[in-house]
Amino acid sequence: MNRIPEYLMDLCNSYLGEHAWELFVRSLCLADANLNGLSNLGVPSDIEKVLIYKVGPIEHTKRWLFSPVPALSYYKPIDIIRNYKEGEVILRTVLMRMP
């Protein structure tokens, strides 16, 4: 795994923790429909559920994963997950901040 860039480290450091993430995931009305569409990409199931809830159908979610995201310093979310051990924490932080 690569070392996380300094400007993404702020996101990692501002993560509210596992308990906050679990409460956040439970607070959303998440259905199990359309899941496992991202597992072959290496996206954890909890993040997949939140992405589908926040971004939309699987096609939209895949497009978001492969697009540069301003909140991630224009990194692609899929690259964050694949290349940094802190990738899941960074994505969780961004997802919890999304309206």
6, 12, 15, 42: which is closest to 96 by C-alpha? Answer: 15
Domain enclosing residue 15, as ranges: 6-30+42-97
Domain contains 1: no
Predicted local distance difference test score (pLDDT) of residue 25: 92
- pLDDT by residue, tens only, the chain of 99 residues: 788 888 899 999 999 999 999 999 988 876 655 566 777 888 998 999 899 899 988 899 999 999 999 999 999 999 999 999 999 999 999 999 998
Question: How many structural domains are present in the chain?
Answer: 1
Predicted local distance difference test score (pLDDT) of residue 35: 64
As a whole number of angstroms, the distance between CA 46 and CA 25 comes to 7
Domain contains 49: yes
Predicted local distance difference test score (pLDDT) of residue 41: 86
